[in-house]
Structure 1
Amino acid sequence: MSLPTLFRPLSTPLLVIALGLPGTVWAEDASQRRFDVPAGSLASALTRFAGQAGVSLSVDPALVAGRSSTGLRGDFAVEEGFQTLLQGSGLQLVPAGQGSYTLMRQAQPADGAHELPSTTINGEGVGLASDAYAGGQVARRGNQGLLGERDFMETPFNMTSYTSEALQNQQARTLADAVANDPSVRTTNPSGGRFEQFSVRGFSLYNSDVAYGGLYGVLPTYSIDMEMVERVDILKGPGALLGGLAPNGSVGGGVNIEPKRAGDTPLTEFTALYASTGQGGGHLDVGRRFGEDQRFGLRLNALRQSGDTEWDHQSLEREAAVLGFDVRGERTRLSLDVGRQERDVDGTMERVGLARGLKVPDAKDVHHNFAQPWTYARAKDTFGALRGEYDVSDNWMVYGAVGARKGDYDFMRHAVVLSNDAGRFSVTPRAFQREEDVRTATVGARSWFNTGAVGHTLNMSLNRFELTFDNTGASYASGVSNLYDPVTLPAPARVTDPDDPTHTETVLSSAALADTLSFADDTVLLTLGVRLQRVEVDSTTAGKPKPGYDERATSPAMGLVWRTTEQLSLYMNYMEGLTQGQTAGETTANQGEIFAPFRSKQLEVGAKYDMGRFSTTFSVFRIERPMYYTDSQNFLRDDGEQRNQGVELNLFGEPLDGVRVLGGAMLLDATQTRTNGGINDGKRAVGAPIVNANLGVEWDLPAVQGLTLTARMIHTGSQYLDVANTQKLDAWQRYDLGARYALKLGDKDVTLRASVENVLDKTYWASANVPEGTATGMTLSTPRTWLVSATVGF
């Protein structure tokens, strides 16, 4: 018997279309809040509205079958919004308990309405709707891959989703600017460097592990511009069940980026951009919907910015254009995103490494860009993704997505490794070229049904990721420079050591099955899942095969949410993942060596408290995974295990009218265990601060309408640079200040923004790079930076 036949009896008249949780604060609050529900089928519109309102809606599918809705957008009370959607439908809303509603025909008496248990329907997010929490900086819902989009209160993970409104108001240029809001995330490569890299809960996160609408590897590898982004989802801990294997093995957490979509209101905005000390540019954002019921949508974002940066002899040019197209049908939702991003940097900053036994230099003594002016980084990425969903029936949905990217990269650089306490280092120029081709796809199905009093959301998916890359390069004659007094050397001319060309093919494939069971009127949600994973890697150097591998593993996962009250959720999760082994980086003596895949494990428990306008998440976690380090001979080694355990607190919302808060803190105990001979057992892991804390505040000044003052503090605790814990970086703080002013000029909406990052112009070592694939190095802070922009709506 086929699955559709088996479950068909469960989709007859008494099916529930419900989103959200009963009895949340919004169900009781008659005040208005902002909603954005796209046009489409009436069932879909009601589902989205109920999810955004945080109430449950029970309905006989026969009542809404074949009916359409024009959607709604604006500020509504919950029942007012329902009545707007139901206008002209011949249906009426009937309360069915606290935070719960049902529908019936207007001709029938209200006391004849039949209350049904609810189940949860979540799509993959094609045609993403805005769902901002109070204050507009954080979205209530985030993309959880296999499990679809869910409200944070019914999610068994620590997840924060930052909105495009927050990114624009903070003048975020790249992902590094966006993650500066999160206490568990830190940037571990210099601003104005060749690439961006991050640390989540003390483990490295690479740009190649950032998903685009749930697809890995589609976004640019080295830097990701934020002007094309609708939402940034940051999920803490291994996410193997949700999205499959991350291409570069990130286990501390993951990032998903959702593309922009055209809203029902026409949009034409131009933002003039300026960053000190001379980067000017502009960003154009245009969105339109057209066709019957505004079924089709187009969204174009185009960007160009160039000029000198805060560093000596450094300039940066970035260009990007992304076109998004989507279709909203009664049962079908489609989207296509195509983009191009280019980034050129001259005078690229480098991490600073130390020879064994040297003291950590005082960052305050570093006043200049110590990279040679002839260094550069050229990155060009062309990418695209096609997604679709189809409602086979009222309780079955199938979906699929394919993505691709082609990247061309050209670098001229040199390492900076100090050889003495006076700051001396050798300059060995190195040219490096890389070409990448990525193809990725996922297909899946989701079903909602009941077995007695237990509701089920069944998810199935197949994922496949293919990466092919070719590396070439060469080293040039060396020179000598100094960290404190850099020496400008002639541009490289004589090749001393050409690289053997390397070709590598990686295939990551998996199949996943998960069931979310709901008990006790959806107050208890239990997710059980498993993912079957396979990692295949083949590589050749100079045409000669190198050792590869073909590994398989089964990774179980469990998540539990208990809505103890309307405002409080308790949760826990256990996740395992198989991760592709590290590849020794270009600066290591065993460059190109591929290590075997490894398993990672996370156990987390936590609580989420939603006060309606202000929310907190508190979590206790433990993550275990094998450890990598670079030895005294500059060989990358795998040795022992790193165990990161800690507590984390996240805060967001608008606790007072006109006052918004965003931030939190993390306490981290990152310990080395099972090291060779036990020599480093019990010592702290590299690049893992004991304390991280963030606090951002916005205040709408009552005396001047439209004026908002902003401030942010970022604290990072001390951290070690080496596995023996002999080289230590001091703790640091950064302070940012800003203001924005929204006004009308004629019939034009105008927003002026100005901010100063690192307002005290402090110089410090911002991070010790977690040594996975490259030599350990220190990241120097970015000098005081002025950001100014003006957005005009036409």
Structure 2
Amino acid sequence: MLDRLIVEGWEGSAPPTGTIGQTAPAYAGGQAVSGTQLGVLGNVSVFDAPFSVSGYSAKLIRDQQAKTLADVVLNDPTVRNDASPFSERDAFFIRGFSVTNLDTAFDGLFYLANPRRSFMEGIDQVQVLKGPSTLLNGGLGRVGGTINLVPKRAADEPLTRITSTYSSDSQLWTHLDLGRRFGAANELGVRVNGSYRNGNTPYNNNQAEVGVASVALDYRGERLRASLDYNHSTQNINAPTSLFNSAAAGVVIPAAPNGRINLSSPFEYHDSTYNMVASRVEYDVLPNTTIYAAGGASAYHEDFVSSSHQIVNANGNATATLAIQPQQIVGVSGEIGVRSEFETGPIGHKVNISAARSLNQNYRGGFVAASLGLPAAYATNIYTPRYLPDGSVNIAALPRSGNLPLFAELTSTSLAISDTMSLLDDRIQLTLGARYQNFVSQSYNTTPGATFGQRNYFNEDGRWSPAIAMTARVNDNLSVYGNYVEALTEGPSAPRTASNVGQIFPPVVTRQREMGVKYDGGAFGVTAGLFEIEQPNGFNSPGGVFSVSGLQVNRGLELSVFGEPFDGLRLLGGVTFMDAKLAKTLNGTLDGKLVPGVPETAFNLYGEYDIPWLEGLTATGRLVYSGSTFYDQANTQKVADWTRVDVGMRYAIEGPHGKPVEFKANIENLFDNNYWASSARGYLAAGAPRTFKISVSSEF
């Protein structure tokens, strides 16, 4: 594995037992990356990783003019977005399981990334691991997979880049990216990113104002390496769409409305502020042994007045309700460990021992709508919305975040040990490992009353989660892999429709089995993987009592391609075939039913072609397809399949002092199709309408 990383140029300034340094280089074509950071396993080549992984480069993020994480993972057929771009958040499904921003890591640390929406200005790479990651990263849940945000670092060459972007309807976006290194050996690096975006979106009445700032410092000495990151963002949205749009039981799901139609009244808003600091340090005590430590903290505040809507018939009639729930989310995460490489006879070992601890707190008030002067539920229609008049809510009198009681707290402490053993010049690599996790989960009553502040839930549990994984290189180009991993997941809670509403169940164990092949053609790569994930699931009985009495079993086949198979032609994407079904349900009533919100077929393909008759001119395009899904567990409410087509052009020239200048133009949803982009978790999210993006980027 080390030989392959050095050949690819990923040796950076660190030995094989280190992780801090230059990020993995882009693979042929510049869109995908050649390696990924796999937690306790360290830096691993994509083709040597015993898991299904994908990574997206800084060049791809710039070329696609990606604003948020959701724009980037749209390139992955195993990932599906679960929220509207005009809401306050991004949310995802990986391998048919919910993955929120709390499952997104920043430089390998969880609970530090923005819990609602991660902006891309300060991000160099986006890495996606498919399947449970308990051994690699710890934490609870993260069944379908995890996403890791790799921050930008200063390169050896100085960088000053300014990008100006216009996005329909009238969004203006300016982004400055500045990088410098200092010292006799360029040992100290500084990377600063700042941007401001404001204006109207294609969504009626919707306006978004976003400010982002990031500062990344790093030091790379002979034996000591360290990094320090600070991230800040503010997001203020007028008339945001709600994630929490639903359909009543038994209702035929109507066709999706035009993507420009906004059900929110103009006075609704969502304002948020996010700050984070994170640091890593590692020291080589021996040429083959590195000790390391990392930690960070984040704080997120949000205030809003937002409506949710429940569709009540096939004509699109709906019931709307207003809600306010200001909250503060605090995250703290840290880890220490040692990583060493050595040999015992013909067997090579790469051993890691680490301990991690994380804390996630939610401060929230419980407010009765009537006591805040909110209007009662009112009738509307998803095609011809009814808006409440300005002044319907006294916004100045509403409670704000910043001085709220503790609502919920999750503390996780874990110890992990792993050994990757290699034989035959690293052609066979076997990883054995396990992580012991102890977690404490508790919540408190925050609704004013006699029991205000009283703890209403407490659970403490611990368990070893084992993992075994193997990669075997058939030859220099072809490898096969397989793994068995387990994950400890928080138990579900009874929904509002259950008679035991609010009851929280003990943790459950999820299991994954996976096998696949990877082919490295030098200029292009192809991977294929088969997987099965079993997770205990909750159901409502005919009497209305919610219980954990069944399984969700997701079986799938993933095929992906990336690279430059022909000169001037670059491809990125693939297809996922999914068989996600319910099993062992109460009295077998739902056995064999398809899991709601999970398409049986998901296809993504992004391509670029360099026009031969004009140097620097590139045509781009993307096709995204999601098969039909069911909204309910009984499979009586069906949501239609959908297709989206994006096109674009890019033109690069040489500017002053030999520095590049790039012009980009993209059209997303070219044919302005109306579709339900997601029907997962009991919510319906409409897809975005046709959107234009034009930008110019200059380096100095």
Indicate whether the TM-score tops 0.5: yes
Instruction: Select 1:754's aligned residue among 662, 665, 670.
Output: 665
Distance 1:480 1:202, change over 3 A: same
Distance 1:143 1:577, change over 3 A: same
Question: What is the identity, as a one-letter code, of the residue corresponding to 1:389?
Answer: E
Match of 1:511 in 2: 415
Give the drift of 1:311. Answer: 0.6
Match of 1:262 in 2: 154
Distance 1:35 1:423, change over 3 A: same
For residues 146-545 of structure 1, what are the structure 2 equivalents within 5 Å? Answer: 146-246=40-140, 249-351=141-243, 352-364=245-257, 368-474=261-367, 475=369, 476-478=374-376, 479-490=378-389, 491-493=391-393, 503-541=407-445, 542-545=452-455
Give the drift of 1:731. Answer: 1.1
Match of 2:644 in 1: 734
Match of 2:449 in 1: none
Contact 1:366/1:483, CA 8 A, preserved across alignment? no
SS of alignment partner, residue 192 of structure 1? coil
Deviates more, 1:367-376 or 1:664-673: 367-376
SS of alignment partner, residue 146 of structure 1? helix
Give the drift of 1:195. Answer: 1.5
Distance 1:707 1:629, change over 3 A: farther
Contact 1:535/1:580, CA 8 A, preserved across alignment? no
SS of alignment partner, residue 2 of structure 2? coil
Contact 2:214/2:232, CA 8 A, preserved across alignment? yes
Match of 1:20 in 2: 3
The structure that has the greater radius of gyration is 1
Question: What is the identity, as a one-letter code, of the residue corresponding to 2:513?
Answer: L
Match of 2:699 in 1: 793
Give a deviation string over 1:770-790, Cα, whole Å, max 9, x none. x2xxxx111111000111111
2:669 is the counterpart of 1:777: no
For residues 4-153 of structure 1, what are the structure 2 equivalents within 5 Å? Answer: 19-21=2-4, 35=9, 38=12, 44=14, 121-124=16-19, 126-153=20-47
Give the drift of 1:507. Answer: 0.2
Partner Cα distance (2:302, 2:496) in 1: 14
Partner Cα distance (1:372, 1:717) in 2: 32
Deviates more, 1:606-615 or 1:486-495: 486-495
SS of alignment partner, residue 688 of structure 2? coil
Question: What is the identity, as a one-letter code, of the residue corresponding to 1:523?
Answer: R
Match of 2:559 in 1: 649
Contact 2:257/2:686, CA 8 A, preserved across alignment? no
Question: What is the identity, as a one-letter code, of the residue corresponding to 1:231?
Answer: Q
Partner Cα distance (2:544, 2:624) in 1: 33
Partner Cα distance (2:41, 2:464) in 1: 18
Give a deviation string over 1:559-609, Cα, whole Å, max 9, x none. 100001110000000000112234568999977654322111100000001
Partner Cα distance (1:369, 1:561) in 2: 50
Contact 2:203/2:260, CA 8 A, preserved across alignment? no
Question: What is the identity, as a one-letter code, of the residue corresponding to 1:128?
Answer: Q
Match of 2:459 in 1: 549
Give a deviation string over 1:375-412, Cα, whole Å, max 9, x none. 22112110011101100011211011001001111121
Question: What is the identity, as a one-letter code, of the residue corresponding to 1:19?
Answer: L
SS of alignment partner, residue 301 of structure 2? strand
Partner Cα distance (1:366, 1:277) in 2: 13
Question: What is the identity, as a one-letter code, of the residue corresponding to 2:331?
Answer: V
SS of alignment partner, residue 324 of structure 2? strand
SS of alignment partner, residue 3 of structure 2? coil
Give the drift of 1:506. Answer: 1.1
Q: Which runs of 5+ in 2 are unaligned?
A: 446-451
Partner Cα distance (1:149, 1:467) in 2: 27
Contact 1:333/1:389, CA 8 A, preserved across alignment? yes
Give the drift of 1:511. Answer: 0.4
Deviates more, 1:316-325 or 1:341-350: 341-350
Partner Cα distance (2:554, 2:196) in 1: 40
Give the drift of 1:208. Answer: 1.0
Partner Cα distance (1:164, 1:332) in 2: 26
SS of alignment partner, residue 61 of structure 2? helix
Give the drift of 1:698. Answer: 0.3
Give a deviation string over 1:329-372, Cα, whole Å, max 9, x none. 00010000011111111111124311111111012567621122
Match of 1:80 in 2: none
Partner Cα distance (1:585, 1:448) in 2: 49
SS of alignment partner, residue 153 of structure 1? coil
Distance 1:718 1:634, change over 3 A: farther
Partner Cα distance (1:591, 1:304) in 2: 43
SS of alignment partner, residue 326 of structure 2? strand
Give the drift of 1:266. Answer: 0.3
Alpha carbon RMSD of aligned pairs, Å?
2.4
SS of alignment partner, residue 133 of structure 1? coil
Partner Cα distance (1:682, 1:336) in 2: 50
Partner Cα distance (1:703, 1:589) in 2: 69
Question: What is the identity, as a one-letter code, of the residue corresponding to 1:787?
Answer: K
SS of alignment partner, residue 60 of structure 2? helix
> Could you tell me the TM-score, scaled by structure 1's length?
0.82
Contact 2:326/2:399, CA 8 A, preserved across alignment? no
Give a deviation string over 1:117-167, Cα, whole Å, max 9, x none. xxxx2422x223341110011111101001111001111001011011111
Partner Cα distance (1:787, 1:588) in 2: 45
Give the drift of 1:633. Answer: 10
Distance 1:465 1:670, change over 3 A: same
Contact 1:519/1:525, CA 8 A, preserved across alignment? yes
Distance 1:615 1:520, change over 3 A: same
Partner Cα distance (1:680, 1:365) in 2: 34
2:489 is the counterpart of 1:561: no
Partner Cα distance (1:319, 1:366) in 2: 25
Deviates more, 1:458-467 or 1:620-629: 620-629
Give a deviation string over 1:177-212, Cα, whole Å, max 9, x none. 000000000001111113111011111100111001
Partner Cα distance (1:633, 1:502) in 2: 34
Distance 1:518 1:130, change over 3 A: closer
Question: What is the identity, as a one-letter code, of the residue corresponding to 2:393?
Answer: A
Partner Cα distance (2:252, 2:315) in 1: 10
